[in-house]
Amino acid sequence: MNKLKPNNYQQAVNQTKKLNGVKVPETIKESEKDFFHIMFITSRPNQAKMEYVHKSHLQVVNKESYENSKNNYMQLGYSKVVILHNPYKASEKPVDLVEKYSEQLDTTLENLKEYADDNNIELKSTKKADVQAEIAQWLEENQ
């Protein structure tokens, strides 16, 4: 089962960062990428601690359900509604791993091969650009 990063992830994190107890999921199932992922947040006062207790749950809905209900969510008692994934919004630009790790990868092909040997990275290519991509992928998975 493949997972994807939600396209509104960073915005959802920013909207919920002050709400203690609310955790934004970092991934969604690839099979659900064509649906809206909506976080419903309720806030209840805790009289003993003089603070609010926040709880969230995630719901996956199709476009028709979302369009029919989007104006009624607050009336249903939710304090905050956060769209985690909108299938009709362009996804965030994929991260270029070679660019991300450019400082470590800006060296000769021989040094890259030596680095791969030292870290038990099995290289499939002999071209410098491909070797850089393979090492960048390994760095992403192991750091």
In a domain, 90, yes or no: no
In a domain, 44, yes or no: yes
Residues 1-51 pLDDT 10s: 688 889 888 999 989 988 888 999 999 998 999 999 999 999 999 889 888
| CA distance to 41, 96, 123, per residue, from 45 (Å) | 13, 44, 56
Backbone angles phi, psi at 92, to 5 degrees: -65, 150
Asked whether 89 and 5 are in contact (CB, 8 A), the reply is no
Tokens 């290519």 belong to residue: 125
Domains identified in the chain, total number: 2
What tokens does 97 get? 């791993």
What tokens does 58 get? 């995630």
In a domain, 133, yes or no: yes
In a domain, 36, yes or no: yes
Residues 58-69 pLDDT 10s: 999 999 998 888
Residue 95: pLDDT over 70: no
* C-alpha of 8 from chain center: 8
> Are 46 and 113 contained in the same domain?
no
Asked whether 64 and 30 are in contact (CB, 8 A), the reply is no
The range of the structural domain enclosing residue 45 comes to 3-85
How many DSSP H helices and E strands does the chain contain?
6, 5
In a domain, 91, yes or no: no
Please, what is the average pLDDT of the chain?
86
One-letter amino acid at 23 equals K
pLDDT number for residue 1: 64
